[in-house]
Amino acid sequence: MIQATSTVSQVRDSKQEPATFHGSVELKNNWELSEIKAIYNQPMNDLLFKAQTVHRETFEPNQVQTSTLMSIKTGACPEDCAYCPQSGHYNTGLSKEQLVALDKVVKSATSAKNAGATRFCMGAAWRSPRGKDFPVVLEMVKEVKKLGLETCMTLGMLSGEQAHQLKDAGLDYYNHNLDTSEEYYDQIITTRTFGDRLKTLAHVRDAGMKVCAGGILGMGETLNDRFGLMQALANLPEHPQSVPINQLIAVKGTPLEDAAAIDSLDFVRMIAVARIIMPKSYVRLSAGRENMSDEMQAMCFFAGANSIFYGDKLLTTDNPDADRDNKLFARLGITAEGAEPNQSATMEKTAIANPVTDDPSRKLYYNAAAS
């Protein structure tokens, strides 16, 4: 068994609450690696049953939250994250852009809202926000908030002061991923430490914002690294309110361009683990859905994923377009959480107008309406 490392155990020891149980739900932040491993290694049916049972006790089982992403500053990032197409250390053919203008952000947020998203996430390829950019970013938060959307940003490392300013501007969530285990971290990023990430998460929590923190699977990490990532997330002083689980998008030009794809059932198992050990957190099926079948995504939802990025772009890479997701939701009887009735109706109408039977790859679909 890998021992919890100093940084993780410090975080854990700083707020060791006793576990609380409500039915199948066990809420605690002192998970041992051996417990996480045992959950993961159950027979698949037992694991999925447990995850779905927990999910039904804490969430509406057929609702999925939808967030739309926008890159507000693209490329030329000084950090060397081995997975990232936006790092200035690698040549991925991406054209760099300055911070986008406020009106462009408002326009995109308005379209996202009209398409049915309830949260708008703005991402910048920065190590940390600096100088004249920061006041503009605060304006973006205020304007997006005015549209009635939840706001989320991911801008790199924050000072305590910056976190408070974002909170005062109306920012609901801050995304800052741990990405992998503390042990594997320096194989993926050398320009900052795992401890730096924990510090920013503490600033975000202390400022009273909701934490969105997760990681990436499929970067050549071992199973123990995946358990270590899950342990680090679940043993934060509070579980992150949102936990994005990304499947690596292997981008040409990055050091991970040839990384072997993660086995899809291993990925589903890890979603189930996240659901069980962080029972009240939204678990987001994040990057990588473009390469996932509908069936795999359905299994992830069954395993407890209840949030997605919605819209045809992530930051710089492709995501399934809204039409494909609307059809998938209709096919699974899933509704978008918090969408206004007219938006749900539009999403449903799009799905009905483009029945899945039109898609030749869906031969197994039984069209009950036609019989």
Active site residue 300: no
Indicate which residue of 119, 192, 197, 212 is catalytic: 212
316's contact among ligand DTB, ligand SF4, ligand SAM, none, with CB below 5 to 8 A by partner kind, is: ligand DTB
Q: Are strands 173-175 and 307-309 parallel, antiparallel or unpaired?
A: unpaired
185's contact among ligand SAM, ligand DTB, ligand SF4, none, with CB below 5 to 8 A by partner kind, is: none
- Applying CB under 6 A, among 249, 270, 328, 347 the residue interacting with ligand DTB is 249
**Cα separation, 50 vs 54, whole angstroms:** 6
Angle at 127 between CA 199 and CA 15, to 5 degrees: 10
Please identify, among the stretches 231-239, 244-252, 266-274, 353-361, the one whose residues bind ligand DTB according to the rule CB under 6 A.
244-252
Contact between 87 and ligand SAM by CB under 6 A: the answer reads no
Surface-to-core class of residue 110, CB atoms within 10 Å of its CB (0-12 exposed, 13-18 middle, 19+ buried):
middle
- Applying CB under 6 A, among 249, 277, 303, 330 the residue interacting with ligand SAM is 249
Indicate which residue of 226, 269, 275, 284 is catalytic: 284
Q: Where are the alpha helices (DSSP H) in the chain?
A: 6-13, 33-40, 44-58, 102-115, 133-146, 160-169, 185-188, 194-206, 223-234, 264-277, 294-302, 322-332, 341-353
Q: Which two tokens stand for residue 37?
A: 């491993």
Q: Please say which residue, 169 or 248, places its beta carbon nearer to ligand SAM.
A: 248
Contact between 246 and ligand SAM by CB under 6 A: the answer reads yes
Number of Cβ within 10 Å of residue 121's Cβ equals 28
Q: Which residues form the interface with ligand SF4 (CB under 6 A)?
A: 77, 79, 81, 84, 86-87, 125, 156
Q: Which is nearest to 281 in space by CA: 16, 24, 27? A: 27
Residue 316 carries which DSSP code?
Answer: S
Active site residue 77: yes
Indicate which residue of 77, 119, 226, 300 is catalytic: 77
Could you tell me how far CA 325 lies from the centroid of its own chain? 16
Q: Please say which residue, 54 or 81, places its beta carbon nearer to ligand DTB.
A: 81
Site string for ligand SAM, 275-304 (x = CB under 6 A): ------------x-----------------
Contact between 267 and ligand SAM by CB under 6 A: the answer reads no
Unique residue bearing structure tokens 């051996």: 34
Contact between 273 and ligand DTB by CB under 6 A: the answer reads no
Q: Please say which residue, 58 or 68, places its beta carbon nearer to ligand DTB.
A: 68
**Cα separation, 163 vs 14, whole angstroms:** 21
Binding site for ligand DTB (CB under 6 A): 69, 85-86, 123, 154, 175, 177, 214, 244, 246, 249, 286-287, 314-317
Q: Which residues are catalytic?
A: 77, 81, 84, 121, 152, 212, 284
